[in-house]
Structure 1
Amino acid sequence: MERLTTSQLNISYDDRMIVNNLNIAIPEGKITALVGSNGSGKSTILKTMARIMSPAAGQVLLDGKSIHKQSTKDVAKQLAILPQNPTAPDGLTVTELVSYGRFPYQKGFGSMSKEDRNVVRWAIESTGLTEFAERPVDQLSGGQRQRAWIAMALAQETEILFLDEPTTFLDMAHQLEVLQLLQKLNEENNRTIVMVVHDLNHASRYAHHMIAINKGTVMGEGSPTEVMTPEIFRDVFNIEADIVYDPRSGVPLCLPHALITKYSTTTAATHQREAAVV
């Protein structure tokens, strides 16, 4: 049974409908990747499922209850979200940042308990940041900063973790660093992870479940093998691509070779007519 689902979900900005009648289910204990071109609505869906945005109609259901009708603290004990390109105040240390993750559990004036401090220490250790615990976040590398923010989310001790493009602006080594950490959290702690991913091959390698979105509509959903198809590449990304298989893991990978445009279609038709005349 899936803990997190959407039911006839509509999302709009002002009077413009972005997502219409969305019905999806997030597999529990798995990594789910939302993929699609820029402006497809994937980040909007993530934010609405994480309760940052409110739907125009329909519901996001967590354990059968509307997430937008639950209290902020109750929701924060069940799911955490890492937004795109988060920034910390200058001089804030890793330990101080991670401590913010304990907010849902604090009472009164928000003093940290012994349990809170133990959880913060565990989150820092789990993300490999012990040696940087007292270092200001703004002095870390890109990959280290992302790990610090993930540690803050871990400190919330939630079973569901949302991430909006967690590898944006990172080089290849730091991208792998973050993705492998998420894989570890899923495998060792059974975290349900939902992330927006731009790179199709990263999604295929690290996600168990993929949801391909175009203009707010689900165009494909299932395992990487089910979603990584030439038809979905055309419908969602407007590209022609070959599928190759990773020799290490056997997962399908996308090898794009042409952009589908009105010009290229017209040109191809012209070449066909000329060939027929000859």
Structure 2
Amino acid sequence: MRPRPPVPGRGIFSGTGLIITGLAATLAALVFPVWSYADRAGTGVAVLNAETVSTRYGPLSALDREFITKVRLAGLWELPAGQQAEQKGTTQAVRTAGQHLVEGHTFLDQQVRDVAAKLGLALPNEPNDQQQGWLAELSAAQGVQYDVKFANILRLAHGRVFSLVAQVRAATRNSLVRTLADDANTTVLDHIKILEATGYVNFDALAQDLAAASTPPLTFSPGPPGPTSDPGTVVPLSPSPSPTYTLPSAAASPPPTVG
């Protein structure tokens, strides 16, 4: 009589058991990082929820508030820089770029003040230190040197804010911020193109500056979701590159309701 062949194992070490065990281990490896990072305090989702307030127009995140503030800050220095270029530019292309900056930021500033008033946000009424430094540098330049500095300083600033606009437009859940981002995207892209049309933009230097962040980014200290004090009046620069024009003070309204 031939010996009976051994019966295959039926435990976890059988072929089927090994397959099931392998699949379970793979699933655990995939699920664990999602759980361990997404639910851990201090990660993106936790921070987003912690810094977001409820408004009638949708949730308002910290990034939304940063974006609104930077739109206002951009107008506070780029609009007078545009007016200056209309007067000091040595070529029609530079003067036209200045005109686009004036028109674009006049429109955007009206929009951002309306949005801030509806959301109860306090806005700055003067450029930050870096922006005032740029204006002073432009005020000191003359002739072709002015044209070159104007085109490159403004193009660098617009390149930085362009990425922020895209990020906000892609992620915001607030309808007012979404509309403002649409307007800002159109305006900033127009300004980028018109600055490049001057023929003075150094694209090699621009790429290096943007990649290495050799110039400090625009900075400010964001306040709470709503205004905490009277924003005050616009403080003119000395010397002022645009002595006949100032943006209106930011309007104030009650802060958004926390949900």
- Which structure shows the higher helix fraction? 2
- TM-score scaled by length of structure 1: 0.22
- Which structure shows the higher strand fraction? 1
Q: Which has the larger radius of gyration?
A: 2
Greater relative contact order structure (CA < 8 Å, 6+ sep): 2
